[in-house]
Amino acid sequence: MNDTLVTLVGYVATQVDYKETPNGPSARFRFAVTPRYFDRRKEAWTDGTTSFYTVWARRTLAVNLAGSVSVGEPLVVHGRLRVREDPPDGEGHRWVSAEIDATAIGHDLNLGTAAFRRVVKTDVPLMATQEAAVV
Report pLDDT digits (tens) over 68-122: 999 999 999 999 999 998 888 888 888 889 999 999 999 999 999 988 888 887 6
In a 3-state reduction of DSSP, which class is residue 80? strand
Q: How far apart are CA 53 and CA 11, in angstroms?
A: 11
Residue 46 bridge partners (DSSP)? 37
pLDDT in tens, 5-46: 999 999 999 999 999 999 999 999 999 999 999 999 999 999
